[in-house]
Amino acid sequence: MALEFTDSNFESDVLKSDKLSVVDFWAEWCGPCRAIGPVIEELSKEYSGKVNIGKVNVDNNPQVSTTYGITSIPAILFIKNGQVVDKMVGAQPKSNFVKKIESHK
């Protein structure tokens, strides 16, 4: 199951992790966010233990969302060693996620 990243655990679970983190910024009311939800869940199972894959609810975690300048959702950040190494905005097919994960992990 995808991890839940929040304002309080983002630094410890994402920024200080030694693994690539894939962070899906989403909201309940966002149709495209709900559309990619199952893809995020599949990826979290497939990359379990190798890549941190999780979600940030922008409505509940304004601090992280503001820090990363999230203005459109879904926005997916790929973070490694505390730095954003890649980004995708909008609903995307699973193959696009896999390509980016494989290129950065």
**Residue 47 pLDDT:** 97
Mean pLDDT value across residues 5-9: 98
**Percentage of the chain exceeding pLDDT 70:** 100
Residues 68-102: tens digit of each pLDDT: 999 999 999 999 999 999 999 999 999 999 999 99
Per the document, the length of the chain is 105
Active site residues: 30, 33
Spell out the alpha helix ranges (H) of the chain. Answer: 10, 31-46, 62-67, 94-104
Residues with Cβ within 8 Å of 90's Cβ and at least 6 positions away in sequence, in order, are 32, 72, 74
Residues 17-52: tens digit of each pLDDT: 999 999 999 999 999 999 999 999 999 999 999 999
pLDDT at residue 105 greater than cutoff 90: no
Residues with Cβ within 8 Å of 63's Cβ and at least 6 positions away in sequence, in order, are 7
Residue 97 phi/psi, 5° resolution? -65, -45
Please, what sign has the CA dihedral across residues 42, 48, 52, 54? positive
Q: Where in the sequence is the domain holding 87, given as residue range(s)?
A: 3-104
The total of structural domains in the chain comes to: 1
Which CATH number does the domain housing residue 46 bear? 3.40.30.10
Q: CA-to-CA distance for 32 and 10, rounded, in angstroms?
A: 23
